[in-house]
Every structure is written in structure tokens, then in C-alpha cells.
């Protein structure tokens, strides 16, 4: 029942309702709402999802053995039989490019995961444990003074070409950058009142790092991992292009472009298709990283 209001005194009146200052926003949720709010994440996620699907479903997408050599079909133009043409050894470029997606994405994701884990551990202890900071910082500075691609080439020169060695070489080159990022975040966090309160309460360092420091480093670490993933795929392509990366029998985008560089003026498609796939994949990862940076930064989302 509605409450019964007392009668108004003489001369009184009910004022008209005030108009809304801000127009009412229609509710927008689900996938469409997320895509409208974070279009960069949506675009990067869709492109990257397509590349992952290509890598997983490569055997089902009309491919053949990417290592099969047919000398009578060398450097043929794209056709119905060979959608991307053939390379200098008569191998089907369509199959090699699609299977090369597995190599590049596998290396990129592996390097991003391993370098993030290693850089996180080093950055946490370097930024919070003052006794370890000078030693770890000098080591990271020494590694960062060498360009990452040159460091990877030097490490690959000590071993033979394989996917595992490429992952290890690029990971060692990327760990210092992740460690410096995490160290900077930790240096700002350890001065926060809640961390000082935990120290004053007698909490041990591992507990403080686990409960208070680590959760606040995950957002920038995730964003940095996307950039590391893109850089790792480019580094692998460069290493393979100069002959210091994956073995020539492995169908990677860098190897395909390296084999076609001598004929690029007359048979440009040998380089065009792997370069196009590499560019799209790196663009997708970078778009995803930019979108995550905007979404996870409270200064950009207006939460502060």
C-alpha cells in the first residue's frame, strides 16, 4: 500500500521533477558490450584467435606434407593446385606457411611465459630485498647493454639450431627487460602504507611479497608479456632469416623468407605470404597488449 500523505497547506504546490542531467545509457553487456568498450582487445583477440585456429587446424585446412620436395614444381606461381605457389625446392608454400604458424606462435608463447616467470622472480627479489638489488641490477644492466638480437645470435652460435635452443636464447635476451619493469613496480609498491604496516606487524618477506607485492605486479606483467611475445616472433624470424635460428627443414616464416630472398624480384610471393602472416600475428599481439594496458590501468579507465 502506498503511504497516505498529509494534505498540503494553503499556497503550497508540488514542484515538477527535475530533468536528468545525463542521458540514460542503454544497457550493453555480453560480447558486444565488451567489444564496444575495449575495441582494441576485441580486434587483437579475434586476429590472434584466428592465427591460433590456423596453427591447431593446419592438417585439416587442405595442406600437404610441408617438407615434401618436388623439383619439377619449383617456384611455381599461385594456382588452384598450390594456393600460395611453391618455393625453390618445389614445396607447397601454403602448407609451409600454415605449419609455420605453429612454430612462430609456439616460440612466442613459450618465450613470453618463461621470460615473464624469470623476470618476475628476479624483479621481485631485486626490488624488495635491498641486499640483492645491487648485484641483480648490475647483472641485468650488463645483459641489457647488449642488443637482444645480437645476444641471441651469440647464444645460438654456441649451440646447434633447434626450436628449443631458439626459445632459450630469446628468453635469456628478454628476461632483463621484464625484470627491470617488475623491479620498478616493486620499488614503488614497497613504499605504500599497507606494505609498511605489514613490515611493522612482523610479517616475513615471502609472505609480504606473496600477499601484497605480487598481485599488484600482475597487470603490468601481463601487458609486458604480450610485447615480449611479439618481439620473440620477430626475433625468431630474424634468426632464421640469417641462418642462426631453426633448422632449414623446419617450416618457419623466417626460413621461408630466407629461402626466397634470392628470387624476391621475380618470385616475390615466396616472401609475401610468410611476411603477411608474420605481420598480422605481430599486429594482433600488439593490439591485444595495447588494449590490456588501457583496460588494466586505473588512470586510463577512470577508476582513480
In a domain, 270, yes or no: yes
Phi, psi of 92 (to 5 degrees): -70, 120
Closest C-alpha to 88, from 100, 105, 71: 71
Closest C-alpha to 154, from 146, 162, 142: 146
Closest C-alpha to 156, from 63, 98, 241: 241
What's the total number of domains in the chain?
Answer: 1
In a domain, 142, yes or no: yes
Q: Rounded to whole angstroms, how far apart are CA atoms 103 and 98?
A: 10
Tens of pLDDT along the chain (304 residues)? 556 666 666 666 666 665 555 555 555 556 777 778 888 888 899 999 999 999 999 889 888 888 888 888 888 888 888 888 888 888 889 999 999 999 999 999 999 999 999 999 898 888 877 788 888 888 888 888 888 788 888 888 887 778 888 898 899 889 999 999 988 888 888 777 877 787 787 778 778 778 878 888 888 888 899 999 999 999 999 888 888 888 888 888 988 898 888 887 778 888 889 999 999 999 999 999 888 887 876 555 444 4
pLDDT per residue over 30-46, tens digit each? 677 777 888 888 889 99
pLDDT at res. 304: 47
Q: Rounded to whole angstroms, how far apart are CA atoms 262 and 254?
A: 14
Task: Please name the residue that has the C-alpha cell 599497507.
Answer: 194
Q: Rounded to whole angstroms, how far apart are CA atoms 221 and 182?
A: 7
CA-to-CA separations, 20 to 17, 24, 209, in angstroms, rounded: 9, 8, 47
Element (H, E) at 113: helix 93-128
Torsion of CA 278, 284, 289, 293, to 10 degrees: 150
In a domain, 117, yes or no: yes
pLDDT at res. 280: 93
In a domain, 8, yes or no: no
In a domain, 82, yes or no: yes
pLDDT at res. 75: 80
Residue 98, judged by CB atoms within 10 A of its CB (0-12, 13-18, 19+), counts as: buried
pLDDT per residue over 176-220, tens digit each? 999 999 888 888 887 778 777 877 877 787 787 788 788 888 888
Contact assessment for residue 103 and residue 188, using Cβ atoms and an 8 Å cutoff: no
Q: Rounded to whole angstroms, how far apart are CA atoms 286 and 289?
A: 5
Beta bridge partners of 92: 86
DSSP string, 123-143: HHHHHH-TTTHHHHHHHHHHH
CATH number of the domain where residue 186 is located: 1.10.3720.10
Closest C-alpha to 177, from 213, 140, 147: 140
In a domain, 106, yes or no: yes
Determine the structural domain holding residue 110 and report its residue range.
Answer: 78-278
In a domain, 216, yes or no: yes
* Residue 302, phi-psi category: left (phi > 0), alpha (psi -120 to 50), beta (remainder): left
Task: Count the Cβ atoms, other than its own, within 10 Å of residue 239.
Answer: 26
In a domain, 34, yes or no: no
Return the sign of the alpha-carbon dihedral for residues 182, 184, 187, 190: negative
Quote the pTM value: 0.81
- DSSP-derived secondary structure letter, 14: P
Closest C-alpha to 103, from 167, 181, 199, 34: 167
Q: Rounded to whole angstroms, how far apart are CA atoms 291 and 219?
A: 12
Q: Rounded to whole angstroms, how far apart are CA atoms 222 and 220?
A: 5
- In the chain, the N- to C-terminal Cα span, in Å, equals 43
Amino acid at each position: 500500500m502506498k503511504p497516505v500523505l498529509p494534505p498540503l497547506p494553503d499556497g503550497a504546490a508540488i514542484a515538477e521533477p527535475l530533468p536528468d542531467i545525463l542521458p540514460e545509457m542503454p544497457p550493453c553487456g555480453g560480447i558486444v558490450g565488451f567489444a564496444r568498450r575495449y575495441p582494441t582487445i576485441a580486434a587483437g583477440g579475434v586476429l590472434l584467435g584466428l592465427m591460433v585456429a590456423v596453427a591447431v587446424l593446419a592438417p585439416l585446412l587442405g595442406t600437404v606434407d610441408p617438407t615434401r620436395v618436388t623439383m619439377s614444381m619449383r617456384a611455381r606461381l599461385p594456382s588452384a593446385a598450390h594456393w600460395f605457389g611453391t618455393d625453390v625446392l618445389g614445396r607447397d608454400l601454403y602448407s609451409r606457411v600454415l605449419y609455420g604458424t605453429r612454430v612462430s606462435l609456439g616460440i612466442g608463447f613459450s618465450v613470453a611465459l618463461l621470460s615473464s616467470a624469470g623476470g618476475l622472480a628476479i624483479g621481485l627479489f631485486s626490488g624488495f630485498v635491498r641486499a640483492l638489488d645491487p648485484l641483480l641490477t648490475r647483472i641485468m644492466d650488463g645483459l641489457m647493454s647488449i642488443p637482444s638480437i645480437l645476444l641471441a645470435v651469440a647464444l645460438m652460435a654456441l649451440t646447434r639450431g633447434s626450436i628449443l635452443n631458439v626459445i632459450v636464447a630469446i628468453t635469456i635476451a628478454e628476461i632483463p627487460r621484464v625484470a627491470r619493469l617488475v623491479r620498478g613496480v616493486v620499488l614503488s609498491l614497497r613504499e605504500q602504507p599497507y606494505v609498511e604496516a605489514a613490515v611493522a606487524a612482523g610479517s616475513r618477506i615471502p609472505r609480504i611479497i606473496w600477499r601484497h607485492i605480487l598481485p599488484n605486479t600482475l597487470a603490468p606483467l601481463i601487458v609486458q608479456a604480450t610485447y615480449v611475445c611479439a618481439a620473440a616472433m620477430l626475433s625468431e624470424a630474424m634468426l632464421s632469416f640469417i641462418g642462426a635460428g631453426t633448422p632449414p627443414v623446419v617450416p618457419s616464416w623466417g626460413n621461408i623468407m630466407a629461402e626466397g630472398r634470392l628470387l624476391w624480384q621475380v618470385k616475390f610471393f615466396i616472401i609475401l605470404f610468410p611476411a603477411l602472416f608474420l605481420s598480422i600475428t605481430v599486429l594482433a599481439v600488439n593490439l591485444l597488449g595495447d588494449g590490456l594496458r588501457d583496460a588494466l590501468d586505473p588512470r586510463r579507465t577512470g577508476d582513480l
